[in-house]
Structure 1
Amino acid sequence: MPFSLHQWLLPLAVLVICGCSENKSAPVTQPAAPAVTQPDTVAVVAPPAPQDTADVQDVAAFLAGLPVKQASELRPLTSSPAWTKFAADAEQNWSKYHSTRTTKIEDWARQELDSVRQNSPVVFYPFSGPDFLNATTMFPGSSTYVLVGLEPVGSVPGRASLVNPKLFHAVKTSLWSVLSFSFFSTNSMAVDLKSMELDGALPLILLFAARTQHQVTDVRYVQLSLKGELQPVDSLANSPKLIPGVEVKLRAAAGQEKSVYYFSADLNDWKLGQSKAAILNYVRTLGPLTTYVKSATYLMHKPYFSQVRNLILEQSRFVLQDDSGIAMKYFNPSDWRFIHYGTYRKPIPMFAKHYQADLTAAYQDSVHRARPLPFGTGYNWRVNDSNLMLATRQNKPVL
């Protein structure tokens, strides 16, 4: 996995983890995959075929380069030279990732997010793609995670995909930018998550679950009705107005039961109007939220992402985000208390028009000084260049 890169130009080569990109192209150079710009629209995809591997946990471990059970039908595949090399490379890359990012995030979050974590049963992560990795690292004690992106839901890879020699390259390419810079490359998502080997977000969610010491106990394909009701995938006729999703049940190393939901949905106002805001109606049923946003292409700065922005501002107890999330101008200062972390100068050149003068003023406040951020995150991914903001609601959320 390459780590040698051009200084500040690199963010131009990697785009976002978010599930909603603007419907226009931008100059991108990325050695790992051809440039592809994702639209704001979501294609209607037929429900995934039933998986042909019995134990989903073994599939997750296999994708992660980790040992499978002795009795697993996948056990013979792990003796192949291709998988052995893949597993060795994965172990090296993940060891580096944990030492440079995970440990620092966990130490920081224990100190700065302790009370937030204790009051965050539900984490809402819009524009996330399959990034369960960062969500569970920041909020390991939460019981429900709701991820939303444009990437298709996908399926549990069957044996035909697991024995395909292209699988390991697809996994490595998809993980390259998130392990290097904390966010996915749009190019990799557009290409690799529509392939036969990785047909959507689910395979990477399973991989991240295994690599964060979770046991996968169940996978259930779901969809949202127009009223936002969670339904089994075969309970309603296939319709372009339905929101496809998946429910992944996990058990943490300490025994805690968790649910991860991923929905393939476009969050711009026009698309939400077509689906009668089904995804937002569902999120409203979850009670008070902790919302996490990063590398979100500054979409909620725009007037046509007002519905999801308003939902977050109304229903969240806490919002943890970088500057690509909700613009400061939308937070009512009387409703929110802010703590700023790291450094804010300006967005990378691709997003220069989203510079916030009021955020610069907040970071220059000599009374409420910004606190240290010992790890990189978001588009300005280098340590000492990144920023996070924790917004805490001063009154009860609107439910």
Structure 2
Amino acid sequence: MRSLLASMLLAAAACSGGTATAPTSGGSNSDLDLGGLGKSHAMPPPTPDAAVASGSGSAAPVAPVASTAGVSFREEAQLLYRIAACGGADAERIPESRGDAIARDKLAKVAERHCQNVLKRMAEFRAAYFEKHKSWFDDNIPKDIPKTVVYPFGGGDLLSALVAFPDATEITTISLELAGDPRRIKTLKPDQLGNSLAALRVEIGGLLSVGSNTSVNLSAQQRNDIPGQVASHLMGLVTAGYEPTDMKYFRLDDSGGIQYLEQGDVEDADKKRMKALKGDWASPTFSEAFSHVEIRYKKQGETTERVFRHFGWNLDDTNLTARPQLLKHLAAKGKVTMLTKGASYLLHRPTFSKIRQYMLDHLTWMLSDSTGIPPLYAQPANMVQETYGTYSGAFLEGSRGTRADRTFVDLWRSNSRKKLGFRFGYVDASGSGHLVVTRPK
């Protein structure tokens, strides 16, 4: 395996791999003026107490059974884990290149500069959410909720799901952003890698500070030679003390069942151009084969595999009517734990009624900011909503003062005040952190 990975990186010294031009937003030639690898910057594995926030119990998780079908992109996942997400020891960041020390040194310098920045941000995030504010999750998330987590509108944000539910055995995120093509990491030259990593550091936005990002950044990820969604999710694994074990891509059949893509499926899809899932979203530079990804992962030092899936799917009513496979897939999971944050208040709108109704029908326990399900819809569904922090109105001005937003303002006013000393998702119109728990009566 090590020699195979080394040969992949050796190709970077000789060719560009025929990939699209790397984006340059947020980067410059200074990103390539890099230091050496003499100093270790790898994040230490988290202590058990820091890695496990309450809310999923202490019993060893039972992982879903892995499938042998489909082509594995494990090697690409490992490269992205090391280079883009900065996992593992920095001495192993770039595999040895079969005697080509020059090529390896150039790539290593680019990766080192990137990881100096990223690992610092990860350490700050860990100190805040896995240590300082860990007690809130310990005290407020029940021990017996389902270990299957569904996170609508959760593009790039596996990290927040791991903060709240670190012992989940299955996590699903869904967003407009497509997973991305991992193959280019094998062939990027040092300058291409530097530009792509510089752009990625911009495109992850506030992921490693407050667990949030902007639509502009998420859209731009689809033009990067590094798959932004995959890289962001791998950063979540690194920050929380997990590591990938396998990666595959898939599609859904008409019943909502998973069909893993074989090599022939990938090659056929490469011949077709992929369009964005929303008109004002950047068109991806990769094929539809790389829309949905499954990443198997485990805690460092353990052997039990868990499964994470990201779906690139438009969740508005028009699209879910035309493409109902996702709702069928989600419904088959039964009762689940849910998370929603930073979701642009889409669940407040009448045009997102199908995903909202799925959530109301299947949630056992849900954590959200004010972009979750408003009391306007939760109360008629016989839900209880408990509030934390303060809330004076929507963070986004265009969603402030709507009927749905006013029901949230009224909810906070009527509930007894419970303190919240941190931000987890959007702040409100006054800049205050807030959270709401939604559950059946």
TM-score normalised by the shorter chain: which range applies?
A: 0.7 to 0.9
Aligned counterpart, 2:85: 64
> In the alignment, is the contact (CA less than 8 A) between 2:149 and 2:336 conserved in 1?
yes
Q: Give a deviation string over 1:182-239, Cα, whole Å, max 9, x none.
A: 211211111133222x234122212321222112111011111122111112497869
Aligned counterpart, 1:338: 385
In the TM superposition, residue 181 of structure 1 has moved relative to its aligned partner by 3.5
1:74 maps to 2:120: no
Percent identity between the two aligned chains: 18
The secondary structure found in structure 2 opposite 1:80 is helix
**1:35-46 mapped onto 2 (5 Å cutoff):** none
Q: Larger deviation: 184-193 or 383-392?
A: 383-392
In the TM superposition, residue 378 of structure 1 has moved relative to its aligned partner by 2.3
1:137 maps to 2:163: yes
> In the alignment, is the contact (CA less than 8 A) between 1:222 and 1:230 conserved in 2?
yes
Query: Which residue of 328, 334, 356 corresponds with 2:375?
Result: 328
> In the alignment, is the contact (CA less than 8 A) between 2:338 and 2:367 conserved in 1?
yes
Q: Distance between the aligned counterparts of 1:357 and 1:193, measured in 2?
A: 35
Q: Larger deviation: 84-93 or 287-296?
A: 84-93
Query: Which residue of 345, 353, 360 corresponds with 2:409?
Result: 360
The secondary structure found in structure 2 opposite 1:64 is coil
Which structure is larger by alpha-carbon Rg, 1 or 2? 2
> In the alignment, is the contact (CA less than 8 A) between 1:319 and 1:392 conserved in 2?
yes
Aligned counterpart, 2:299: 252
> In the alignment, is the contact (CA less than 8 A) between 2:221 and 2:229 conserved in 1?
no
* Alpha carbons of structure 1 residues 149 and 66: separation in structure 2 relative to 1, 3 Å: same
* Alpha carbons of structure 1 residues 207 and 391: separation in structure 2 relative to 1, 3 Å: same
> In the alignment, is the contact (CA less than 8 A) between 1:340 and 1:388 conserved in 2?
yes
In the TM superposition, residue 310 of structure 1 has moved relative to its aligned partner by 0.4
In the TM superposition, residue 257 of structure 1 has moved relative to its aligned partner by 2.2
Q: Distance between the aligned counterparts of 1:340 and 1:162, measured in 2?
A: 50
> In the alignment, is the contact (CA less than 8 A) between 2:200 and 2:224 conserved in 1?
no
> In the alignment, is the contact (CA less than 8 A) between 1:248 and 1:259 conserved in 2?
yes
In the TM superposition, residue 90 of structure 1 has moved relative to its aligned partner by 1.9
Q: Give a deviation string over 1:156-186, Cα, whole Å, max 9, x none.
A: 2522247422122022112232223321121
Q: Give a deviation string over 1:283-311, Cα, whole Å, max 9, x none.
A: 01112111100111111111111110000
Q: Distance between the aligned counterparts of 2:189 and 2:176, measured in 1?
A: 24
The secondary structure found in structure 1 opposite 2:249 is strand
Q: Give a deviation string over 1:111-143, Cα, whole Å, max 9, x none.
A: 11133xx32211100111121000111100110
* Alpha carbons of structure 1 residues 321 and 260: separation in structure 2 relative to 1, 3 Å: same
> In the alignment, is the contact (CA less than 8 A) between 2:159 and 2:236 conserved in 1?
yes
Aligned counterpart, 1:193: 222
> In the alignment, is the contact (CA less than 8 A) between 2:383 and 2:439 conserved in 1?
yes
Aligned counterpart, 1:304: 351
Q: Give a deviation string over 1:352-390, Cα, whole Å, max 9, x none.
A: 24463332232223xx41321121122317997021111
Task: Report the TM-score, using the length of structure 1 for normalisation.
Answer: 0.77
**1:87-102 mapped onto 2 (5 Å cutoff):** 87-102=115-130
Q: Distance between the aligned counterparts of 2:231 and 2:437, measured in 1?
A: 31
* Alpha carbons of structure 1 residues 251 and 167: separation in structure 2 relative to 1, 3 Å: same
* Alpha carbons of structure 1 residues 77 and 320: separation in structure 2 relative to 1, 3 Å: farther
RMSD over aligned Cα atoms: 3.1
* Alpha carbons of structure 1 residues 179 and 200: separation in structure 2 relative to 1, 3 Å: closer
Query: Which residue of 188, 196, 211 corresponds with 1:167?
Result: 196
* Alpha carbons of structure 1 residues 55 and 306: separation in structure 2 relative to 1, 3 Å: closer
Size of the aligned set, in residue pairs, is 343
User: What letter is aligned with 1:154?
Assistant: G
> In the alignment, is the contact (CA less than 8 A) between 2:71 and 2:248 conserved in 1?
no
Query: Which residue of 136, 146, 160 corresponds with 1:108?
Result: 136
Q: Distance between the aligned counterparts of 1:105 and 1:93, measured in 2?
A: 17
* Alpha carbons of structure 1 residues 100 and 215: separation in structure 2 relative to 1, 3 Å: closer
**1:146-157 mapped onto 2 (5 Å cutoff):** 146-157=172-183
The secondary structure found in structure 1 opposite 2:386 is strand
Q: Larger deviation: 186-195 or 313-322?
A: 186-195
Q: Distance between the aligned counterparts of 1:290 and 1:77, measured in 2?
A: 45
Task: Report the TM-score, using the length of structure 2 for normalisation.
Answer: 0.70
Q: Distance between the aligned counterparts of 1:225 and 1:300, measured in 2?
A: 26
User: What letter is aligned with 1:294?
Assistant: K
The secondary structure found in structure 1 opposite 2:223 is coil
The structure with the largest helix share of the pair is 2
Q: Distance between the aligned counterparts of 1:128 and 1:62, measured in 2?
A: 23
* Alpha carbons of structure 1 residues 106 and 323: separation in structure 2 relative to 1, 3 Å: same
1:208 maps to 2:236: yes
Aligned counterpart, 1:372: 419
Q: Distance between the aligned counterparts of 2:188 and 2:417, measured in 1?
A: 48
Aligned counterpart, 1:221: 249
User: What letter is aligned with 2:84?
Assistant: L
User: What letter is aligned with 1:250?
Assistant: Y
1:126 maps to 2:173: no
In structure 1, list runs of 5 or more residues that go unmatched. Answer: 1-30, 34-47, 395-399
User: What letter is aligned with 2:204?
Assistant: L
> In the alignment, is the contact (CA less than 8 A) between 2:393 and 2:428 conserved in 1?
no
Q: Larger deviation: 219-228 or 173-182?
A: 173-182
In the TM superposition, residue 56 of structure 1 has moved relative to its aligned partner by 2.8
The secondary structure found in structure 2 opposite 1:88 is helix
* Alpha carbons of structure 1 residues 249 and 325: separation in structure 2 relative to 1, 3 Å: same
Q: Distance between the aligned counterparts of 2:440 and 2:105, measured in 1?
A: 51
> In the alignment, is the contact (CA less than 8 A) between 2:339 and 2:368 conserved in 1?
yes
